[in-house]
Every structure is written in structure tokens, then in C-alpha cells.
Amino acid sequence: MQARQLPTHRGLAWLREGFLLWRRNPALLTFASFGFILMLVVVSAIPLIGQPIASLLMPVFSLGVLNTCRAIDEGRKGGPDLLFSGFKANLGALVTIGGIYLVGSLLVLLLTTLVDGGTLMKFMTGTEGFDPETADRSDLSLTLMVAIALSTPLMMAYWFAPVLAGWWNVSAPKAMFFSFYACVRNWRPLVAYALAFALFGILLPGMLIGTLGAAIPFLATLFMLMLPLILFPVMFASFYINVRDVFGPGIIDERIDD
């Protein structure tokens, strides 16, 4: 399969174009985005088995949000049922992708125990509470860097995989391989996208909240409550634009050639 190699500046445009896509139907996209989060939270609350099941279903619900973005982009009517449309599209492969990502994440945590003796794993699994004194240890900072380095290839393999499995009906291993390949070809715009999101989605809003908090605390609180209602849907919409850019708007209904 051919994935386009995009220039760096396209990564800077994904966030802006995602915002414009959200503006076309903010109610539906906001519902889908928070419905995705709510479904995962509800499933995760099931004792013992909730978190693994949520990991397995994450690609399914994420595909539902992207199907919502696609419907808005194509001018088609859509409703809340689009959130569950992932259950109708290559469900076995989507669940398998979630399983591979879960196993890979656990393997990364296991490898970090060689650095810090299991401190990060205890934090992430909830078997040990957060201790500020422990967090200040230098080896924990090193552990975080090791975890990021080890999890980056896994994230690259997962990035486009649900879309490839759901829209092109390919197997989980093939979807994750082509996802990794597409990320390698487009690492520059992806880095630019991450920087743009960090700037406009985290840094600047944080500075604005801090300024408003010092002058008008009520407005700062209101802004903090409103920000996720825009940020999360725009994040999903910008990812859809990313997919459309890399694989092309005219080939979404085609099948991947072997």
C-alpha cells in the first residue's frame, strides 16, 4: 500500500483544519468524542476484567469517532449510532489490534522494571499510590524516557491501524505494519503536529487560564470547563484530517492491494 509522504508544514495545518471540521457539526462530533471516553470509562469500571476489555475495544470506539468525522466531512447525515459503527467493520481485526497494543504496553512496563525496579509499573497499574518524594527520584525520570523510547514504535504501529482495518478490511498485523510504515514516511509532519497541539492545545490555554485566574477566577474556571468540550473533538477531527492527508481522500473506499 502507498502512503503519501507529506511536507512538514502539513502537520501544522491538521489542527486548524480539524477545528474547521468540528465547526461544521460541533454537537455530533462532541457527542462522539465524549461518548468514546465515557464508553471506555464505563467498561473499565467492571471489576478485574474491565481495563483489559476497554483496551480491546478502544480501536472499535475510536473508529466510530472517525466514522463520525468522515460523515461530517462528506456532508452525510449522521447520528449517535455512528459511535458504535466500529462493531460492524472488521471487528475481529480491531479487537486484535487492541490486544496487541495492550500486550505491547505491558511489555514496555515490564522492561522499565530493569531501570527502576518496578516503580513506574506500580504507578501505572495502581498497585502503589503516587508519592511526590518517589517521583523526584532521578531514576524515575530515566524510566519515563526509556518508556517513551520503547513505546514510540508501538504507538506508530497503532496510529493508523484501526482506520486501516476498519476502512480497508485488512488483518491486524498488516494494518499495524502499514501504520508503522506510514508514520516513518511522515515523521516530520507528525512531529510538527505534536508540537502544534502542545502549543495551541496545552501551553497557550494554560497561560490564558493562569492569567484569567489571577484577574477573574470565575472566567478561568469557566474556560477550564469549556476547553475539553472543544479540545477533544478537535483532536479527533485533526487526526481524521491526518488520515485523509496521508492516504488520500479518494481512496478511502478502495481496498489495499497486496
pLDDT, one tens digit per residue, over 216-235 is: 887 778 888 888 889 999 99
CB 37 within 8 A of CB 236: no
What are the CA-CA distances from residue 23 to residues 18, 51, 154, 239 (Å)? 9, 33, 32, 15
Q: What is the pTM of this model?
A: 0.87
Q: Which residues contact 105 (CB under 8 A, 6 or more apart)?
A: 55, 151, 154
DSSP state at residue 68: H
What residue ranges do the domains of the chain occupy?
Answer: 8-247
Nearest Cα neighbor of 12 from 245, 248, 206, 251 is 245
**Each residue of 203-214: pLDDT tens digit?**
888 888 888 777
CA pair distance 134, 136, nearest whole angstrom: 5
What is the structure's pLDDT at 132? 57
